[in-house]
Amino acid sequence: MAGLVNNLLILFLVFQNICSGFRSPLSVFKRYKDTTRSLSSECLGSNRPVISLGLSDFALDIRMPGVTPKQSDTYLCMSVPLPVDDEAYVVDFKPHASMDTVHHMLLFGCNEPSSTESYWDCDEGTCKDKSNILYAWARNAPPTRLPKGVGFRVGGETGGRFFVLQVHYGDISAFRDKHKDCSGVTLHLTHQKQPLIAGMYLMMSVNTVIPPGEKAVDADIACHYKRFPMHLFAYRVHTHRLGKVVSGYRVRNGQWTLIGRQSPQLPQAFYPVEHPVDVSYDDILAARCVFSGEGRTTETHIGGTANDEMCNFYIMYYMEAKHAVSYMTCTQNANPEMFRNIPQEANIPIPVNSDMLKMTHGHHEEMKDTDKSSLLQQAKKEEEEILDQDFHMEEAVEWPGLDLKLGQVSGLALDPENNLVIFHRGDHVWDENSFDSKFVYQQRGLGPIEQNTILVLNPSNAKLLHALGNSLFYLPHGLSIDKNGNYWVTDVALHQVFKLGAGDKEPLLILGVALQPGSDKNHFCQPTDVAVDPITGSVYVSDGYCNSRIIQFSPNGLYVMQWGEETSSGKARPGQFHIPHSLALIPDFRQLCVADRENGRIQCFRLETGEFIREIKHKSFGRELFAVSYVPGGLLFAVNGKPYPGQAEPVQGFAMNFSTGEIIDTFIPLRKSFEMPHDVVASADKTVFVGDVHARAVWKFASTEKMEHRSVKKAGIEVQEIKESETVVEARLKNNPESTDPLKKQEKQHLVQQTSTGVSFVLVTTLLVIPVVVLLAILVFIRWRKTTVYGADGEHKLDSSSGRILGRLRGKGGGGLNLGNFFASHKGYSRKGFDRLSTEGSDQEKDEDDGTDSEEECSAPPPPPAPSSS
């Protein structure tokens, strides 16, 4: 009998092990555990980066591997692979950091980190492909928890395979003892499908200027909403020290509905929307930041340093899963006139007592005002990283401008009214007979171009609005328009730069000596482009085909400085050029970016000093990159050259995240084909125009939103309570999205939730019951056999033994698993729905985009023949 009982015990243990194989998510983590990093002995973090929380839930620990930053404002990155292949949802974030050592943290998702090292300098980038921000932390934010039924989707076919943690170490005085830091975050993930997908809508101003001493300065942002309905449940405001109040509204049929209003000098948490607001197609989202320049002695601009400012209004929302978009942005003011009707409350500062200010800002004193160059030593790393450019560029095939009769199109620009301006060569062409070996123009006998070379068009219908520039130019090339509407153009035959008023027939300013190439302060040699600083009025000229330099002039044309040199043999070094062909001035970052044509790259420099900052180069550019254009808010557009024989890279347009340089999208025309796209210009609404010097055509491209089957992988989620006051805010989750048929919508949502939970319940029940049923069947069979052979006495003995075994089985299964216990056991964690979240304003760093595939880069081609001229 004892042997029988032992056999039954062994049988039970076998079935228990089988069940454990199904129950524990750790069974699929073997490949991850093999590559687990070892933390520094000085770190107190867990040595178990993956922790099972039950049948469908698990926790993932992501930590810096024991680092010691060497200087302030250091950004360090590290990566961790997603330990599962299938889709999962992040529902909790538990940070492990202190604001005494860490300024803020960002967590990204992508498929290929920028490095395979245990950690690296984030200046190398976060990811090689598209990266999606998933989480941000600052100012001792406690754990973040979302409302029930809401999660951020990761993994699967659309999500990234890696998490990349970026930590910004601001003031490193805390590291005087050389200790090692293991800051990071623990994620709580679940495989259970969430019926509602969360996301974030970021509204931010990118061009606000706050004059010194000004008592009240408004920064207004407004965009039309063009998506499926979303439902707002939390908001967060952010400025630096000068912000007094930030307010956000939904505007529908002229009616302003408050989303949220708060002082940015209070703890910058996510607060619940008091009366949840829905946003429908064609509503307007509007926000205002009120600043004061009192106490400042110089202008304050939007930027990433302590003495710069920011104007951000974050909105947390949820959408139905099938229409979910994880991230959206608004960086423009689509209707300035509407702000005349903004509620008066938006202009009234919220008083903050001094104790609260100390609690919010800590013990660090604000830096004193210094000169502009010192304020801009750190590029604005913050807002651009979170810009997920969720769009795809396609040709606007209905635009009639492609049929215009033009000469060689050399330059494009947009005037202050957003009209398209074309600079073309009329009946003149640049060919092998145009110049001699000393770059002197050989076709002066033709005289200047008799046609109007500057055409102003309506960007919507290509209707000609204005024309000028006849009998002035020989071979037009670059075109730029300053904030006052003046045209700045270059002529490679004349070797000159011209400033023209929109209504003037004669130039307002001429730089260079007509028809005389040179390389001194007073001469150019085939200058290619011009850029004008909207803040200082400084003029930058790229010079050019036979010089390799950038020259800075004062607003009235006086020489200031120059930088650059000819590319030496071998790999081109920073600051070397082989035809600096196009300029893009980035006022947000105080940078000037140059399309270094024959080196196939973009180089960016500091405006005030000409100091090299970085290079943007992709194999998909090919050997030539012709033009570059910047859109305020973080987008960079470019066009490359036609491939040489044997090259694989096609001629195409590129959309890039400026902060990271990563390619978001590529585009080509549907009508005709690119031959030699020579210039590109883009507007704030992501409308792009490309001019082709050989095709003699201008294409219009527009951003086409991907409403279905988009990659839903990203969210900047930070939810927390105000720790000092122990206040807990519960989100009011609106479970019945508005529709034309509320009853059907409610039934549909209930069905989605019921299906999800039903499948999970059936699966769990089945896996637990099967071994019990099998065991009971065996026991019944043995009992029947014993009754037949041994009679009642044998039955009694067996029943006693089986009772003990089944009692143990019930003991194993009766406790149940509380999936929230992992986080609930940690101090400071709140379980009341939606916890407030605090993040420092500079909570967007080095990266970028969602919904489109990055350009696949081919292997490098063999060296090409000599470059063509145009």
Give catalytic residues, as residue numbers: 103-104, 166, 168, 238, 240, 310
Dist CA 703 CA 377 (whole Å): 33
Under 8 Å between Cβ of 597 and 579: yes
Cβ within 8 Å of residue 347, ≥6 positions away:
216, 218, 245, 288, 290
What torsion, rounded to 10 degrees, do the Cα atoms 644, 650, 653, 655 define?
-120
- The CA distance from 762 to 317, in Å, is 31
**Residues constituting the chain:** 870
* Structure-token pair, residue 252: 């529908």
d(CA 552, CA 628): 19
Query: 10 Å Cβ neighbour count for 28?
Result: 14
Phi, psi of 612 (to 5 degrees): -65, 135
Sequence-distant (6+) residues with CB within 8 A of 177 are none
Amino acid identity for residue 758 in this structure: G
What DSSP letter does each residue of 208-242 carry, written as one string? Answer: -EE-TT-S-EEEEEEEE--SS-EEEEEEEEE--TT
| DSSP per-residue codes, 386-444 | T-----EEEE-TT-GGGG---S-EEEEEE-TT--EEEEE-TT----TTSB-TT--BS-G
Instruction: Give the type of residue at 505.
Output: K
DSSP letter for each residue of 22-55: HH-GGGG-HHHHTTPPPPPTT--S-S-SEEE-SS
Asked whether 539 and 560 are in contact (CB, 8 A), the reply is no
Cα 311 to Cα 333: distance, rounded to the nearest angstrom: 13
Q: Vertex 388, ends 167 and 731: CA angle to 5°?
A: 80
- CA nearest 314: which of 152, 205, 201? 201
Rounded Cα–Cα distance for residues 43 and 46 (Å): 9
Distance CA 542, CA 404 (A): 29
Residue 559 DSSP SS3: strand
Are 169 and 137 in contact, with CB atoms under 8 Å apart?
Answer: no
Q: What is the CA radius of gyration of the chain?
A: 32
Neighbours of 804 (CB within 10 A): 12
Cis peptide before 828 (omega within 30 of 0): no
| Whether 274 contacts 312, CB under 8 Å | no
Which of 469, 475, 480 minimizes the C-alpha distance to 425? 475
Token pair in block for residue 302: 């939007």
Reference 684, options 630, 647, 723; nearest CA is 630
| Edge-to-edge strand ranges of the sheet holding 420-424 | 409-414, 420-424, 454-457, 464-468
CA–CA separation, 421 vs 414, rounded Å?
6
Closest CA to 695 of 669, 670, 671, 673: 673
Cβ within 8 Å of residue 238, ≥6 positions away: 246, 264, 268, 310, 311, 312, 313, 314, 839, 841, 843
∠ CA 92-98-101, rounded to 5°: 135
